[in-house]
Amino acid sequence: MKQKTANGATAVPKAPTGIDGLDEITAGGLPRGRPTLLIGGPGCGKTMLAAEFIVQGASRFDEPGVFMMFEETADELAANVRSLGFDLDKLCGQKKVALDHVRVERSEIEETGQYDLGGLFIRLGHAIDSIGAKRVVLDTIEALFSGLSDHAVLRAELRRLFRWLKDRGMTAVITAERGGETLTRYGLEEYVADCVIVLDHRVTEQISTRRLRVVKYRGSPHGTNEYPFLIGDHGFLVLPITSLKLDHGAPLERVPTGVAKLDEMLDGHGFFRGSSVLVSGSPGTGKSSLAARIGAAACERGERVLLFSYEESAGQLVRNMRSIGTDLERWTKQGLLRIHASRPTLQGLEQHLVLMYQAVREFTPAVVVVDPISNLTMHADDAGLKPTLMRLIDFLKQSQVTAIYTSLVSEAGAAFADSEIGVSSLMDSWLMLSNLEANGERTRALQVVKSRGMPHSNLVREFVFSERGIDLIDVYLDSGRPLTGRLRMGAQGVAANPEAAPAGATRSKP
Amino acid sequence: MTSSAVDEPARPARAQKAEWQLRLYVAGATAKSVTALANLRRLCETHLAGRYEIEVVDLLVNPKLAAGDQILAVPTLVRKFPEPIRKIIGDLSNEDRVLVGLDVKAVGK
């Protein structure tokens, strides 16, 4: 058995699948020249994964492939993978892919006396030779078990087939149905033992998530966790924890927040590029507005911004931000701002994450706003949130994207540390918004709880919205007591008209 | 079984196609293929004398032909005509089952 070498490289040669994430989990791809067993129940995406393995091999890695299918016809398969943006017909025309549909119909076959599966070998061999294939998919070869009654012969022949594929140096993917007592229904794991991948489709609290797990990989280290995956418009996407190691870069460049006074609190320059920023607060403290403002400021600098909104629709957000002097529509029209508004319950948490991941890779924004992260947990248990968020935070950090996360704290007086769903330790900067209630008036306040790597203000500032935008007002001390709102205005000699006072204008979310 | 697709017309003199058109797919001259062909010939002579045609296809020579008739196992006997197409896999050692498979009325039974 091949072992890991000292420098961490593996002795087993790999054939990259070209599938985002899967190659990372398997440290480079499937074992080259060996069969891999792909197990899953109906509707788990076995065929799609196998098809992508062939398509990517043919189009990106110059490894032509044979797809032998036992259930679908060639036309059906071509139509199905077209939904992933793959053109099988074209690849077939270029002699990079060969499709062969093997139809097994019990009712049409009479058996008498001895036989072997020589015909199958010949067909496969012919297909391989005709295009010089390096990859082979057998989907789902178990169909033979229902088509032929002599299972003893069949098993012997399958053993011979897998051996034969190995001898020919084919990197093969063999799909199989999940079984009850054994991994697969017909115990194929007995014959294909180099690499086993299980796909799973689970519904928790009415939300379904697809997951992938590498059960076994002979001679190679691999991620053993379950990873969520998505079958999107561009094929398969598996989401690994991108950084088991903390090795992201730390740029020195600063990102202004778009609120001059806030920049001042942050050493005069704003956040670090690529840092993670948490904006927390109880309802109505202005989290969304502040986060959107920071995003708009990036657009003003000509940077791309991706905003995930889980509470407000894009239209609502645009309207609300306009009321405080920020025109988001202008940026969406210029293509600098993209707003993804969706219900958090639309998908599982992992699925959201995969979508975010895809959107970020597609749009390559400089700033990402997630508003709010706390809402994503609505139907998921809290235990699942932290690792998931960790993945997101790590991924964005690695891509050097500045990320703004808002988080709702249910009660104004909730315990400081627990209230941030345990992610505050992952954040580089933390802005805490709160409501101060005194003398029959509520005013908003902002403080920088932490901001790694820079001197920052420890003062609590009053946080004011107006049609001109967001502003912070220095705390006015009156005989050692901070005064806010009308009291401050009164003391400062500003006309204390509550209706005119911008701080009194309420903007609430539904 | 040296050539690829050996036409073995039972009645070379007849111009039109025989009533029973059978095709036997094999992969080289293995023991199973030889047995199958011998069994088939004997059976046809007994029950379909003068009304049949056997074509032997060696897939080692003509691998392309395997996909057309959905050949998986060898030997496979395919009844091309009369329709519908029927398939019998194996060395055809059980005559009764072959007759049932081909839907041939046994002579003298």
Same structural domain, A290 and A212: no
pLDDT digits over A377-414, tens only?
A: 554 455 556 666 777 788 888 888 999 988 887 654 44
Residue A246 placed within a domain: no
Interface of A with B (CB under 8 A): 100, 102-104, 108-123, 125-126, 144, 147-148
Q: Decide if B42 touches A, using CB distance below 8 A.
A: no
Contacts of A343 (CB under 8 A, 6+ apart): A310
Same structural domain, A337 and A400: yes
Q: Structurally, how many domains does chain A consist of?
A: 2
Instruction: Quickly count: other Cβ atoms within 10 Å of residue A377's Cβ.
Output: 19
Q: Rank A158-167, A222-231, A242-251, A419-428 by mean pLDDT and report only the highest.
A: A158-167
- Predicted TM-score (pTM) of the model is 0.72
Q: Which residue of A has its CA nearest to B28?
A: A118
Which of A100, A112, A123 lies closest to B92 in CB terms? A112
Please check whether residue A469 is in contact with residue A323, taking contact to mean a CB–CB distance below 8 angstroms: no
Residue A374 placed within a domain: yes
Same structural domain, A65 and A184: yes
Residues above pLDDT 90, as percent of chain A: 25
Residue A2 placed within a domain: no
Please check whether residue A355 is in contact with residue A295, taking contact to mean a CB–CB distance below 8 angstroms: no
CB-based contact A115 B32, cutoff 8 Å: yes
pLDDT, mean of residues A129-149: 90
Asked if residue A415 has pLDDT above 60, the reply is no
Provide the token pair at B36.
Answer: 């199958």
- Residues of chain B neighbouring A117 (CB-CB closer than 8 A): 72-74
Domain C-terminal end among A175, A205, A238:
A238
Same structural domain, A156 and A303: no
Same structural domain, A142 and A258: no
CA distance A109 to chain B (A): 5
Q: Which residue of B has its CA nearest to A147?
A: B72
Same structural domain, A355 and A301: yes
Domains of chain B, each with CATH number or no CATH: 5-102 (3.40.30.10)
Q: What is the C-alpha to C-alpha distance for residues A39 and A186, in angstroms, rounded to an integer?
A: 11
Asked if residue B10 has pLDDT above 50, the reply is no
Which of B64, B90, B101 lies closest to A126 in CB terms? B64
> Is A499 tagged catalytic?
no
Q: What is the C-alpha to C-alpha distance for residues B63 and B75, in angstroms, rounded to an integer?
A: 14
Q: What is the C-alpha to C-alpha distance for residues A205 and A227, in angstroms, rounded to an integer?
A: 19
Cα dihedral A414, A420, A425, A427 sign? negative
Same structural domain, A341 and A393: yes
Residue A362 placed within a domain: yes
- Residues of chain A neighbouring B60 (CB-CB closer than 8 A): 122
Same structural domain, A221 and A284: no
Which of B70, B85, B88 lies closest to A102 in CB terms? B70
Provide the token pair at A20.
Answer: 């985002």
pLDDT digits over A458-470, tens only?
A: 888 888 888 888 8
CA distance B77 to chain A (A): 10
Closest listed residue to residue A445, CA positions, set A455, A457, A431: A431
The three state secondary structure string of chain B is: CCCCEEEEECCCCCCCCCCEEEEEEECCCCHHHHHHHHHHHHHHHHHCCCCEEEEEEECCCCCCHHHHCCCCCECEEEEEECCCCEEEECCCCCHHHHHHHHCCCCCCC
pLDDT digits over B11-62, tens only?
A: 444 456 778 899 999 998 889 999 999 999 999 998 888 888 999 999 999 8
Q: A201 falls in which pLDDT band (50, 70, 90)? A: confident
Q: Which of A71, A264, A300, A441 is catalytic?
A: A71
Length of chain B (residues): 109
Q: Which of B37, B43, B89 to mutate to test the interface with A (most CBs of A within 10 A)?
A: B89
Scored b (16 or more CB within 10 A) or e, A438-470 reads eeeeebbbbbbbebeebebbeebbbbbbeeebb
Residue A437 placed within a domain: yes
Q: What is the C-alpha to C-alpha distance for residues A350 and A210, in angstroms, rounded to an integer?
A: 9
Q: Which of A67, A69, A115 to mutate to test the interface with B (most CBs of B within 10 A)?
A: A115
Q: What is the C-alpha to C-alpha distance for residues A24 and A102, in angstroms, rounded to an integer?
A: 33
Residues 75-104 of B with CB under 8 A from A: 75-76, 85-94, 97-98, 100-101
Same structural domain, A33 and A182: yes
Domain C-terminal end among A213, A238, A263:
A238
Which of A120, A125, A126 lies closest to B72 in CB terms? A120
| CATH number of the CATH domain containing A110 | 3.40.50.300
Closest listed residue to residue A306, CA positions, set A375, A389, A355, A365: A365
Which of A110, A118, A120 lies closest to B88 in CB terms? A110
Residue A243 placed within a domain: no
Residue A7 placed within a domain: no
Q: Say how many Å lie between the first and final Cα of chain A, rounded.
A: 62
Provide the token pair at B15.
Answer: 């111009």
ipTM of the complex, rounded to two decimals: 0.83
Contacts of A455 (CB under 8 A, 6+ apart): A267
Same structural domain, A267 and A324: yes
Q: Decide if B74 touches A, using CB distance below 8 A.
A: yes
Q: Decide if B66 touches A, using CB distance below 8 A.
A: yes
Asked if residue B109 has pLDDT above 60, the reply is no
**Residue of higher predicted confidence among A276 and B14:** A276
Residue A244 placed within a domain: no
CB-based contact A110 B91, cutoff 8 Å: no
Same structural domain, A190 and A326: no
Provide the token pair at A408.
Answer: 């709702």
H or E element: which one contains A486? helix A485-492
Q: What is the pLDDT of residue B77?
A: 92
Please check whether residue A348 is in contact with residue A376, taking contact to mean a CB–CB distance below 8 angstroms: no
Mean pLDDT score of chain A = 82
CA distance B50 to chain A (A): 25
Q: Which residue of B has its CA nearest to A130?
A: B64
Contacts of A461 (CB under 8 A, 6+ apart): A261, A265, A445, A446, A447, A472, A473, A474, A475
- Residues of chain B neighbouring A100 (CB-CB closer than 8 A): 67
Domain that holds residue A28: 14-238
Q: What is the pLDDT of residue A108?
A: 79
> Is A311 tagged catalytic?
yes
Q: What is the C-alpha to C-alpha distance for residues A120 and B74, in angstroms, rounded to an integer?
A: 9
Domain C-terminal end among A238, A266, A294:
A238
Same structural domain, A274 and A205: no
Q: Which of A264, A311, A329, A441 is catalytic?
A: A311
DSSP assignment of A95-139 equals TSEEEEE----GGGEEE-S--BSHHHHHHHHHHHHHHT-SEEEEE
3 state SS of A140: coil
Length of chain A (residues): 510
